[in-house]
Amino acid sequence: MLKHYKIRDYNFKLVIMVIALAVIGIIAVGSAQESLQTKQILGFAFGIFLMLVISLFDYAVILYFYWVIYIFNAILLILVIFMGNDAGGAQRWLELGGIRFQPSEIAKVFIILFFAQFILKHQEKLNTFQFIIACVVLFAIPAVLVFKQPDLSTTIIICLIFCTIMFVGGISWKIIIGILAVFIPAAIIIITLIMQPDQTLINDYQRNRILAFFNREEYANAEGYQQEYSVMAIGSGQLNGKGYKNNQISSVKNADFIAEQQTDFIFAVIGEEFGFIGTCTVVFLILFISMECFLTARRAKDIAGTIIAAGIGAQIGFQAFVNIGVVTYLLPNTGLPLPFVSYGLTSLISSFIGIGFVLNVGLQCKQK
């Protein structure tokens, strides 16, 4: 499983950017809720360890067990439905052996790994109707299990990851255009149905979040209040911010106007305390990390490596875009963490694991 690699092929630039982003997260979490900072540091240390270990293991050997990965992922998601812990109206957490974690976060990486090998094994069949249907069915099983938790936001992210996987896997443009011709009208119809008062497609609280986005004034003191105060916090930081752990009375963070500010709305804390400079630093780090993953994907030795690197890059990029879009009120409230920054050990560690696989793909890239 371990191979002889050249130190010059190790992507230290990617490692430094990931560590820098995670350190910003530790600092921000410490300000949002100081009691959680120690746990975040421990998660950071464990994540770094796993990232370095995985980066030295040949991903091809790990992918050999792709069906084991798929079945294990499905079992975890099924266990959440029957044994999961309920919190905030959603059953997304599982506790095994005293360890509490969120399987849907790990599922993002597992889905990428499974399809990397599955497509590699059947690459010549990629553009056949039977194979596309098989991929959709195999993807739909974990996607539906995540949706049933309910976790619409994570379901959307893994759908975007799946689209990325199929695209970089080599699916024909004709098929893509055909799918879009069906998907876009279907999406419009589904959104129209969701907006109806008696709809049953999603939960009422999810529908209310969408309505709050389109009717800001009407829902400003209800479902939209967190986003309103979040925008206010970011704006009040101006260029340099109000300072780390400031005690200003006018601070939105200090007044506890934003719930779960250490997780979904951590970007607002960064905006208020570190200003435009702080938020731009986070945005550019995420952008460069995603770009580095895509560059690694272009140089991968096989299609499996391409899918792994591109899939992880897409997951980090899409999830960050949605999180920041919610915090700045550009998107409806979804409840997604900001990769490497938000408090949440499962999200943090699974992100490090994903980067570990990207680093290993980079170590085995084709020579220029």
Tokens at residue 155, please? 């379901």
CB 331 within 8 A of CB 157: no
The mean pLDDT value for 184-196 works out to: 75
Q: What is the pTM of this model?
A: 0.90
Q: How far apart are CA 166 and CA 178, in angstroms?
A: 14
Residue 40's closest CA among 50, 49, 29, 52?
29
Per-residue pLDDT band for 4 (boundaries 50, 70, 90) equals confident
Residue 97: per-residue pLDDT: 73
Residue 20: per-residue pLDDT: 97
Q: Whole-number mean pLDDT of the chain?
A: 86
The mean pLDDT value for 282-309 works out to: 95
CB 282 within 8 A of CB 266: no
Better-scored residue on pLDDT, 87 or 149: 149
Q: How far apart are CA 217 and CA 332, in angstroms?
A: 14
Residue 84's closest CA among 110, 109, 103?
103
Residue 78: per-residue pLDDT: 92
Q: At what angle do helices 266-298 and 225-236 cross, to 10 degrees?
A: 80
CA distances from 74 to 55, 80, 84, 336 (A): 25, 10, 14, 21
Residue 216: per-residue pLDDT: 59
Residues 80-134: tens digit of each pLDDT:
888 877 665 567 788 777 778 889 999 999 999 999 999 999 988 888 889 999 9
Residues 207-220: tens digit of each pLDDT:
666 766 666 566 55
CB 22 within 8 A of CB 348: yes
Residues 35-80: tens digit of each pLDDT:
889 999 999 999 999 999 999 999 999 999 999 999 999 999 999 8
